[in-house]
Amino acid sequence: MSERTTPHRESLLAVFDREMRELARPDGPGVRVERAGDVVRQVGAPHYWNGVVWSSPGLDAARADAAIAAQVAHWTELGYDEFEWKLYAHDRPADLGARLLAAGFEPEEPETLLVAPVADLSTEVRLPDGVRLRTVRDEADVELMARAHGQAFGSDWSRLRHQVLARLKEDPDHFVGVLALAGDEPVSSARMELYPGTGFAGLWGGGTVEAWRGRGVYRALIAFRAGIAAERGYRYLQVDATEDSRPILQRLGFTTLSTTTPYVYRPVS
């Protein structure tokens, strides 16, 4: 972690690890969470996110290697194109990332885990002139989300499109999609996952097209979702932030708890 660890941050990280990782709930319909020895994993159809969300803090070198081999065997047997081991900087053993690399995993860009008490966040939505927000209601709105995401991040949204449509249809009470529109043109989109049985809601997305960056749209999306989380009784907002988003979130009151790196395994065909 880039900041000095404090008792408050340590206790908050312990709550996050327990509620959001070790006791993880499925992140949508059609998936399940399993405790498999020293890890907790989410398993669903190939188009869902599949991977390891928690590993035992008691792992030593031998147990870590055994857990890695078991997960590779599990998803290889399922025939999936890839799965992810979501590694946090404080996970043990300290060389777990190197062990994943040695087993054939490929690391992607690390992100910063930030958490804020909902009560400490502003819910006042301030938008630039000509921009309005609305919640995602139907398939047409999902297509607008996909357009905004593609222009903001330049990445494929096909897997997310499927997941968002499934959430709107099958589990709308625990999902919020938001569009920022300039006229009828999407300029940003974001999501919030509400995790029942925990105090946490997760913020995802928030990418803004280049022409509208630096004008407060991202901050407005945070405030809008914080207001909804507060209304529904959630205590904390959690974000896995890119380096572009991290400074904004810290200024808004989020605390850095750790970093997280996706390690992706793709079986050799």
What is the count of structural domains for the chain?
2
Q: Which domain holds residue 16?
A: 7-111+260-265
Structural domain includes residue 28:
yes
- Pair 208, 145 in one domain: yes
- Pair 180, 234 in one domain: yes
Structural domain includes residue 174:
yes
- Pair 142, 212 in one domain: yes
- Pair 105, 130 in one domain: no
pLDDT (tens, 9 = 90+) of the chain, 269 residues, equals 344 456 689 999 999 999 999 999 998 888 999 999 999 999 998 888 999 999 999 999 999 999 999 999 999 999 999 999 999 999 999 999 999 999 999 999 999 999 999 999 999 999 999 999 999 999 999 999 999 998 998 877 787 888 899 889 988 999 999 999 999 999 999 999 999 989 999 999 988 999 999 999 999 999 999 999 999 999 999 999 999 899 999 999 999 999 999 999 998 76
Question: At 213, which CATH number?
Answer: 3.40.630.30
Structural domain includes residue 74:
yes
Structural domain includes residue 1:
no
Predicted confidence (pLDDT) per residue in 207-224, tens digit: 899 999 999 999 999 999
- Pair 195, 220 in one domain: yes
pTM > 0.85? yes
Structural domain includes residue 247:
yes
DSSP string, the chain: --S---HHHHHHHHHHIIIIIITPPPSSTT-EEEEETTEEEEE--TTS--EEEEE-TT--HHHHHHHHHHHHHHHHHHT-S-EEEEEETT-SSTTHHHHHHHTT-EE---EEEEEEEGGGS-------TTEEEEE--SHHHHHHHHHHHHHHH-S--HHHHHHHHHHHHH-GGGEEEEEEEETTEEEEEEEEEE-TTSSEEEEEEEEE-GGGTTSSHHHHHHHHHHHHHHHTT--EEEEEE-TTTHHHHHHHT-EEEEEEEEEEE----
- Pair 170, 84 in one domain: no
